[in-house]
Amino acid sequence: MAEADFLTKPLAETTPMSPDVLACPHAYNARLRSEAPVMRCPQTNIVFVSDYDTICRIAKDHETFSNKFAGAMRTGGEIDPRLAEIQSEGYPAVDTMLTQDPPLHRRYRGMVNQAFTARRVATMEPAIETLCHQLIDSFVAAGECELIVDFAERVPMTIIAEQLGVPLSDYELFKSWSDAFVAQLSRMATPDEELEATRLIVEYQKYFAKKLEERRAAPEDDIISDIVHAKLDDEVPLDIPEMLSVIQQLLVAGNETTTNSIAEGILLLIEHPDQHAKLKADPSLIPNFSEEVLRLSTPTANMWRVVTKDTDINGEPVKAGDMVQIRFSSANRDESMFPAPDALDVTRDNANRNIAFGHGVHMCVGASLARKELNVAFRVLLERLDNFELACDRDDLVYPPNVLLRGVAKLPIRFTQRSD
């Protein structure tokens, strides 16, 4: 469907699940907020919610709108026997943080919170800063780089690998596993891509199952050891499948969202040189800039909920078992909450009201670490580099369609070194 189609055809003839909408959702989201902030899509029977207030209400009501959506995401029909064979070599999928509800969710979340205390995150800043400088040192003389590969993905992936306590020599493995999880989340993978993603996920499971057993026998000062030995309210420790599920979520959340936000932040500065000038004049605005980037980029663009009982959403009837998609990327550009919502404003006084990390009990457990990484990364980039510009045409930038996540695939840029 061409862009003109989903913006001009009657909404009943469009679907938010269109690859074109997923790749570039903002204009369509604005149309939803205006015409049908709660819309049941005729093509999919999914209920899509687009306004800030309703999304926040749904996100906080886990009793009516459940996060146990993993089963509903599995495709119907017969399972590819090749897929089943690969899966049989690994561990079973279990619902832990993202796809679990209280009270079980509190158990998993409580254990992981012990690994993301304010003290631990605060101690990471020097390491994040050193890493950012080292990465810039590797490409600064060239005056150009591909920001995703050379910087944006390496900052969060390196930090989460170090915090998990696994060797950086396995960096490429971690990246391939994270990409495999993202491919599954995309709901856009071909059968062959699904097979390859499943193979990589089983490879991930075997790797980390071994690490977990090693830390059980000999704990170290890392997140894997914290997870292995954590107990909440004298409950039994997590088992291997549960721990693998938790680490999987940390690996993806610790990579994709921060990667995409760093890249989008630099792209926004390229497109808004006046805002770049404000940051250079007053670096204390960088934390607020990070919140604006999160608001405008919203790397976790959408999330699922499953209706648990017959009710309605602002007058739209929904039944138990219905699928609801809450569109965080739309909420973060809701005109009623954020005036001039599509504009970057590094002085916006309510930028921190964004819900890029979710809302309610399922707010991202690694939000404080992600914010720390963004603040340090932007500060170091702006201290070292200036005069950012795209090294390609704007129309050449690609946002691969993904049902839940959104980010640019590559961002080639040119720059100069700051001399002041």
Sequential DSSP letters for 34-79: HH-SEEE-TTT--EEE--HHHHHHHHH-TTTEES--HHHHS-SSPP
Q: Give 81 or 306, the one with higher predicted confidence.
A: 306
89-100: average pLDDT: 90
Instruction: Name the residue range of residue 89's domain.
Output: 3-417
pLDDT of res. 325: 97
Supply the pLDDT for residue 188: 81
Q: Each residue of 273-314: pLDDT tens digit?
A: 999 999 999 999 999 999 999 999 999 999 999 999 999 999
DSSP 230-271: --STTPPPP-HHHHHHHHHHHHHHTTHHHHHHHHHHHHHHHH
**Whether the predicted pLDDT of 255 surpasses 50:** yes
pLDDT at 394 over 90: yes
Q: What is the mean pLDDT of residues 190-203?
A: 92
Phi, psi of 39 (to 5 degrees): -130, 125
Using the structure block, give the residue that is written with the tokens 């090749």: 82
Under DSSP, is residue 416 helix (H, G, I), strand (E, B) or coil? Answer: strand
Q: What is the DSSP letter of 406?
A: -
What does the pLDDT read at residue 1? 40
| Mean predicted lDDT score pLDDT of the chain | 92
Taking residue 97's Cβ as centre, other Cβ atoms within 10 Å add up to 23
pLDDT (average), residues 193-219? 95
- 326 pairs with which residues across the strands? 49, 303
Confidence at 3, pLDDT banded by 50, 70, 90: very low
> 140 falls in which pLDDT band (50, 70, 90)?
very high
**Tens-place pLDDT, residues 167-178:** 989 989 998 998
**Strand partners for 325:** 48, 304
- The predicted model gives 212-221 an average pLDDT of 94
Lowest mean pLDDT among 39-48, 107-116, 218-227: 107-116
pLDDT over 90 at 254, yes or no: no
CB 361 within 8 A of CB 342: no
In one-letter notation, the amino acid at residue 239 is D
Lowest mean pLDDT across 260-269, 360-369, 388-397: 360-369
pLDDT at 2: 45
For the chain, the domain total comes to 1
Take residue 275 and report the two structure tokens written for it: 């805002």
Which residue do the tokens 């209706």 mark?
Answer: 307
Confidence of residue 219 (pLDDT cuts 50, 70, 90): very high
What are the DSSP calls for 127-177, one per residue?
HHHHHHHHHHHTTGGGTEEEHIIIIITHHHHHHHHHHHT--GGGHHHHHHH
- Distant-in-sequence, close-in-space partners of 110: CB < 8 Å, separation ≥ 6: 232, 233
What is the percent of the chain with per-residue pLDDT over 90, rounded to a whole number? Answer: 71
Which residues are CB-contacts of 344 (< 8 A; sequence separation ≥ 6)? 268, 271, 272, 275, 292, 296
Round to the nearest angstrom and report the end-to-end CA distance of the chain: 49
- CA-angle at 351, arms to 262 and 275, nearest 5°: 60
The C-alpha angle 31, 35, 38, rounded to 5 degrees, equals 100
Amino acid identity of residue 304, one-letter, is W
Is a pLDDT exceeding 80 seen at residue 404? yes
Asked if residue 410 has pLDDT above 90, the reply is: yes
With 70 as the cut, is the pLDDT of residue 368 above it?
Answer: yes
- Residue of 123, 205, 190, 109 whose CA lies nearest to 162: 123
Rounded to 5°, angle at Cα 414 from 409 and 419: 135
The model carries a pTM of: 0.94
The model's confidence at residue 77, banded by pLDDT at 50, 70 and 90, is low
* Bond from prior residue into 37 cis (ω within 30 degrees of 0): no
- pLDDT number for residue 419: 84
Using N-to-C axis directions, what is the helix angle for 125-137 and 154-164, rounded to 10°? Answer: 140
User: Mean per-residue pLDDT for 344-357?
Assistant: 98
Specify the higher pLDDT residue, 233 or 128: 128
3-class state of residue 97 by DSSP: coil
The secondary structure of residue 80, as a DSSP letter, is P
pLDDT average, residue stretch 325-341: 98
134's CB contacts (< 8 A; 6+ apart) are none
Residue whose entry in the numeric block shows the structure tokens 């600064």: 140
Rounded to the nearest 10°, the torsion over CA 66, 299, 13, 58 is 30
* CATH code for the domain of 287: 1.10.630.10
